[in-house]
Every structure is written in C-alpha cells, then in structure tokens.
Structure 1
Amino acid sequence: MRAGASAGNAPRAVIVVLNLPVPDDHRVWAQAQALRDDGVSVTVVCPAIRDKRPGKATIDGIDVVYFPSFEGAGRLGTIVEGAWTTFASTRAARRALRQPASARMVQVCNPPDMLFRLLSWARRRGCWTVYDQHDVVPALAGSRPAFQKLERLFLACERKTVAAADMVLTPSSEQVERLRKLYGREAVVVRTASVVAGVRTQPPEDEDTTVLGYLGVIGEQDGVGDLVEAVDLLRGRGVTGFRVEIAGDGPALAGVREQVAQRGLGELVHVRGWLRPEQIGPFLDEIDAMTVPDPDIEFNHYCAMNKVTHAMARGIPVVLRPLRENSRLVADSGVLAKDQSLPAFADALETMIGLPQKERAAIGERLQEIFEAELSWEKSSARYLEAVSPARRG
C-alpha cells in the first residue's frame, strides 16, 4: 500500500527528528522508507533547515512536515533552538497522530532528549512509543565546556525519555550497555542507514598519490582539526605522495578552513563542504582510505560512526583512533592508532600511506565482509521493522 495522506486507515507511523531534515538525515529516511514498504502510512516531522522551506510535502510516498526552525549558536542559542523545536515538532506530531489509523506508532529521535512529554501523551492514547537514541546527549554535553553545567539536566531528560518509550533503539553496542547499566533497559541495535555499497567504479586519477578521505559532520567533537594537525606533522616528517579530501559540514567547518589556510596546507588538504546523497558514491570512488580522527572523549566511544560503515560497505580501508565502538565495528581489521595521541594518529596515517595497494585492498575486503555479515541495512531494517512497525502490531 502506498503511504501518504490517501492511505486511509492504514497503520500510521510518525517519526520526529529535531536536528536534521529529511532526506538529509539518512538514518531517519531509510527507516521511513522501510516502514512505507511495510504498508505503513508514514509522516516525518523535521526542521526546515539546510535549504528546506516550512510546510508540507510528499516525497516518495512519505508525508513530510517541515516546521520553521533555525540552527542555534552557543549555549543560549542551542537552548532556545531546543525549546522551539520541541514545541513546534510536538504540535505537528500530535496533529499527524490524530489522523485515522488501524494502529499508531510515534518515534522520537535525539538530539536533544526533549520529547518525553510527546511520548507520554501518545502512550496514553494507545500509541506504540519508540525512542531512537542517535547520540548520547549527556556525554556530548560533557565534552563541550560551554554545556558541561547542563549535563545533569540532559541526563534527567534522557531518563524521562527512556521511561516514556515502549521500545528503545540505538546504533551502538556501547550505547546498549550504557542504557542497561543506567536504566535497566534493553535496546535494539539498528546499526546504520542504507549506504553506498559495492566497489570502486572508477580508477584513481593518480596511482602514485594516496587519497585519504573524511566524510561526516565537522563539529567540536569530530577531530577534523586534529586530522589537519596530523597532516602538518606528516609534512614535517617529509612524508609525500598523499592528499586529504574532507567532505562534510558543521559548526567547526569555518575553523577547519582557516586552519588549513593558516598552515599553508591547501595543496594537501581540500575542504569540500556538505555532499548531497548522490555525491557520496563518487566521493568514495576517489579515496583510497577513510580517516577517523575523532578524539578520546566519552561521547565518541559510544558512536558507531557513519563514515566507518560507509567505508566498510564500499570495501575501503579505515585508519582510526582506538575508540571502543569503532574498534568493535572493524574487529581486527583497519589500521588502528596505538593510542589516542596526535602523533600516534599521524603514525597510523603514515602506515596507511605506505601500504602497497594490494594490502590496502585486502583490508578493504575484510571490512566489507564484516559489514555484509553484521552491519548491513538489510539486517538492521529487519530488526527495526520487527521492533517498531505498527503494521506488525495489529
């Protein structure tokens, strides 16, 4: 059955996400498509940012409500943003949930963890309530000096959100263990959205140059500035035959561009900005290895990072710092820095640059095998639908 406003009394799901619109949020969009294909009438409520306009749209049979929003800067701006998005998204979600349906589900996605009142309201009205914990918000707050005083508040909000949910989802085994320890709650691991799988579809332009890539958010906790510092260290050591391509957007993007310019690294480091979904495949075709420079902060240890799974799905070797969840993902494959320090990360990059192409290809093949056996969206989507789909609850 085709989802949307004409679906009548079909099972209905409303997914609320506060920090990204669809289809830019690949995880949420993949979940919405899976529910649609399961015979569910799907509405996604999300902010009108990143060139999206407020209003309603139907995209590929999925109803989307873009509520007016903005991206706050600093602690005060972020608090105001959180309060506004909570109010606006709750109002839109309640309207969508009042539409006729044989069974209803509401799924809230963080950050932030501010929609526990919506979950409680929906549960009282017979909806199946789902909390999809994208990020561990208290740990994220604790990693940022400006937000550390709010960490206890965020922990209280997280506790209320967990309590209001019939089902909890996470993308990370580390998050599952944390939720079990803190709240005695089990969670279903939904690893990743659908990613661009396959092999390189075009040969590298220059086989003598190793192209290292970064793909993802560029924020304070993502370590892209450390990647630039590591490149500067390699240049100082006289390492040649490589360049770095950085793709992504976020609050630290301007600072990274300035850092590259100040250090005179423009020939070695190219900063592209945000990629549209159709640009991700060609980007992955260009690179020989994915870099994961995220530093040693508590928040990062919980993250199953999309750049890692994108690389694994494509058979691209990964060079990374030894964060717990990422280390689990790659098992004993990839090039892992010996510790979390910047020189150790530079050492790992140098090792990757020096590997023969045959060895890099072998690493990529092992990572792709792990992905297909354990991490693919086909496996995660089956767990997702079994856990949350109102079409399966009657």
Structure 2
Amino acid sequence: MAGKALILVENLSVPFDRRVWQESTTLRDAGWDVHVICPQGTKRDTEPYAEIDGVKIHRYPLKAATGGPLGYVQEYGSALWHTFRLARKVGRVDVVHACNPPDLLYLVAKRLKRQGARFVFDQHDLVPELYLSRFDRGQDFLYRAVCRLERLTYRAADVVIATNESYRDVAVSRGGKRPEKVFVVRSAPAVERFRQVPVEEALKKGKPYMLCYLGVMGPQDGVDYALRALAKLRDEVGRKDWHAVFLGGGDTFDEMVALSRKLGLSDQVEFTGRISDEDLLRYLSAADVCLAPDPLNPLNDVSTMNKIMEYMAMSRPIVSFDLKEARVSAGDAALYAPANDESEFAKLVAHLLDDPAERGRMGEIGRARVAGPLSWEQSSKALLAAYEAAVS
C-alpha cells in the first residue's frame, strides 16, 4: 500500500503541530515516503526545509492574519501560493492529505489528483462553525463563501478523516460522503511525552493550590470566561488560596492580560506565553485543577479539545463547561458546569480544591482513557485504514 504522501497544513508549523506530526510518523512507520508542506514557525521550526526522523518538511514564510476576516483572506492567499509552489517541487505523489483550515487546500489537491493522486481530507475544524463562533457576524457573504468551500472540499475528497463522531456525522449528512469513506482519527497525546515530574512549590507563588489553563488564546477559546470565573472564585466563593497559570499564546493574548488586570487578578494570575515541553511538564505536574473554559458555541460543542486530552495524559482533574464532545473526551475525568455559567464553574473549582481524593480519582480515570480507548495507538489504526481505502 505504501507510496509517497504529501501532507498540507496551514495553521501551524510541523512538528509543532502534534497531530500532523503523529500522522506523519505513523505513515512513515508504515513505509510511506512522507512530505509535509507547512508555514515556518516564529521561534521554532524556522528552517525552510528540514528532514526530521525521515519526514521531509517544506516550510514557507507566513504572516498571521490581523484585522478580522479580510486579514485571513490575505493570509490564506499567501499560504495557497506557497503551497502550490512547494507542491510542484515535491512532484508526483500517491496521496495528498490536506488538513484544514482553510478549506482552500482542495485546490492544490485537485491539481495533484489530475496527476493520479488520491485526496484525503483531514477535517481539523468545521470552518462554517468556526466562522460563526469567532467573528459573530452571522450568516453573511463570507459565511456563505466558507460553506461553499467546504462543499467543494468534500466533493473533491476521496476519503475524509474526522477528529470525532460529531465531525463524522457532518461529513456524512452535510458533506454527502458515504459512511465507509469517513474515518474517525481522534487527536490523542503521545502518552510517553507526558510524565509526572517532582512538584516545584515555587510555581504556586506561595499559595496552597495552583490552577492551570493550557492552550490557544483566541476569541472562541474561553480564556475570558476562565478569568471571570476566577474573579468569582475570589469574590463570590471567597477563595484566595490559589495561583493560576495560563500557558500558551494566541490572537487575544494581550487582551486577556489586560482583562486580568481589569478584574484585579494580576497578583494571582500568570501568563507564560508559549513554553517548552519541559516547562509544560513542570507546570502541569504542579497543577491541582486544570481549566477547560471553552464556551458553548457552534464550534466548541462538537469539537475535541486538545487541552482536555493533555490534562488527562498528566492525570489532572478538569473543570469544563458542559459541551457534547468534552463529555465524550473526558467522561468522569471532569466536572461540568452548565454552559457558560462562570459562577458554577468557580464553585466546581472550589469543590475540587477541597477534595484531594476526588482529584486523584479523576486523574487516574483520565490517564486510563488516553492510554486506552482514546490513545493514539487506536487512532493510528484508523489513519492507516483511511489510507488503504483511499488508494485501493
């Protein structure tokens, strides 16, 4: 079955994009000659070309979008041009594997299909729902445009990879794909990367407890909900015995730092920006409770949150809003506040701080889930089955 595969990704560099890197190495181990086209990183993955562990990575310079939807038009146009350019350099392939967003990469796939390639569409995000959740502009012209691009991508794809059953249902119902051509490849942490290290009490800044948020900080990611919940934990619940750390960066990073100051949380909330894997283990090992504040919106309710999977890999208990796919991922490893209810979110955090036995039990449940039924070992089997369906 193995041949030459080209993976296209626009929103993160590789191997920083953990899902794409896991897919790449899984295919490599199955005998595929794997090429990846992606943007260059700013602090890592900066070389235009690198061969890492047998995976050939072609990178292009890309300026991130600013200024709303029109900024993304410029970003995606530049990314598409570079992707076409580098795809010509890679040459003929047996499979072109496009990871969205955006749903423009099907244009590259269609050109390669004319040369005999099969097209695997790896749907990381439901872009119409992403548009509604991020920009709050309703079903305007740009919304209708992204819906059309999604339809064209589905139509061009020989096989669709979905990150969960909710996305699979969309591919079948809205995308019109035959069920046997849609495979669920869940994002799953490599559990061997996540290990407990000795707790550094200094990270807690003199407080008995530490709370932790890990992930991107964009308009739909709920960091503002987390900060308001922490203010309520202090003001309504009367708890000041915690220090909170927010790990990661994103479009709203500066805005969230300003909001923490406005809420009077500067002395209890720390923003680290993006950190190394080693520091990630230090902070998560010291965390008593981890936060998944993604609010209910059209995208979040049906999306699998990587932060939840990584919290579980580190045996951390979680407080989340009550979202469909959050429950599928975490199960009993999390407590669930009613959607977008910041006061209840704060109360659940306080409940876990007072119950170390419950925290330990939830952590064990989470680790068992990501090491077992939700592991990458299971996802890799589905990935290889998708490729077999594409080429057979």
Both proteins in one fold, TM over 0.5: yes
2:63 aligned residue: 70
**Do the aligned partners of 1:133 and 1:170 also contact (CA within 8 Å) in 2?**
yes
What is the one-letter code of the residue matched to 2:210?
Answer: V
Q: How far did 1:94 drift?
A: 3.3
Aligned residue pairs: how many? 379
Q: Which runs of 5+ in 1 are unaligned?
A: 1-9
**Do the aligned partners of 1:21 and 1:50 also contact (CA within 8 Å) in 2?**
no
SS at match of 2:174: helix
Q: Cα deviation per residue 1:19-65 (whole Å; 9 max; x = unaligned)?
A: 11111111111111111122211111001232344622212221111
**Do the aligned partners of 1:24 and 1:277 also contact (CA within 8 Å) in 2?**
no
2:13 aligned residue: 21
Moved more, 31-40 or 246-255: 31-40
Moved more, 51-60 or 249-258: 51-60
Post-superposition, which runs of at least 4 consecutive aligned residues in structure 1 deviate over 6 A?
none
2:36 aligned residue: 44
1:1-394 equivalences in 2 (<5 Å): 11-51=3-43, 52-53=45-46, 55-74=48-67, 75-98=69-92, 104-145=94-135, 148=138, 149=140, 150-185=142-177, 186=179, 187-197=182-192, 200-203=196-199, 205=201, 209-237=208-236, 238-355=238-355, 357-388=356-387, 393=391
Q: How far did 1:196 drift?
A: 4.1
In the alignment, the residues of structure 2 paired with residue 341 and residue 351 of structure 1 have an alpha-carbon distance, to the nearest angstrom, of 16
Report % sequence identity: 32
**Do the aligned partners of 1:191 and 1:375 also contact (CA within 8 Å) in 2?**
yes
What is the one-letter code of the residue matched to 1:144?
Answer: R
Q: How far did 1:151 drift?
A: 1.2
SS at match of 2:299: helix
**Do the aligned partners of 1:116 and 1:164 also contact (CA within 8 Å) in 2?**
yes
**Do the aligned partners of 1:196 and 1:281 also contact (CA within 8 Å) in 2?**
no
**Do the aligned partners of 1:30 and 1:193 also contact (CA within 8 Å) in 2?**
no
Q: Label 1:203 to 1:67 Cα distance change in 2 as closer, same or farther (>3 A).
A: closer
Q: How far did 1:274 drift?
A: 0.8
What is the one-letter code of the residue matched to 1:325?
Answer: E
Q: Label 1:302 to 1:339 Cα distance change in 2 as closer, same or farther (>3 A).
A: closer
- The two structures, once aligned, show a CA RMSD in angstroms of 2.2
In the alignment, the residues of structure 2 paired with residue 142 and residue 224 of structure 1 have an alpha-carbon distance, to the nearest angstrom, of 18
What is the one-letter code of the residue matched to 1:232?
Answer: A
Q: TM-score, normalised by structure 1?
A: 0.90
Q: How far did 1:177 drift?
A: 1.5
SS at match of 1:183: coil
SS at match of 1:144: helix
Q: How far did 1:269 drift?
A: 1.0
SS at match of 1:113: coil
In the alignment, the residues of structure 2 paired with residue 212 and residue 226 of structure 1 have an alpha-carbon distance, to the nearest angstrom, of 14
Q: Which runs of 5+ in 2 are unaligned?
A: none
Q: TM-score, normalised by structure 2?
A: 0.90
What is the one-letter code of the residue matched to 2:4?
Answer: R
SS at match of 1:298: coil
In the alignment, the residues of structure 2 paired with residue 48 and residue 338 of structure 1 have an alpha-carbon distance, to the nearest angstrom, of 39
Q: Label 1:202 to 1:134 Cα distance change in 2 as closer, same or farther (>3 A).
A: same
In the alignment, the residues of structure 2 paired with residue 328 and residue 58 of structure 1 have an alpha-carbon distance, to the nearest angstrom, of 36
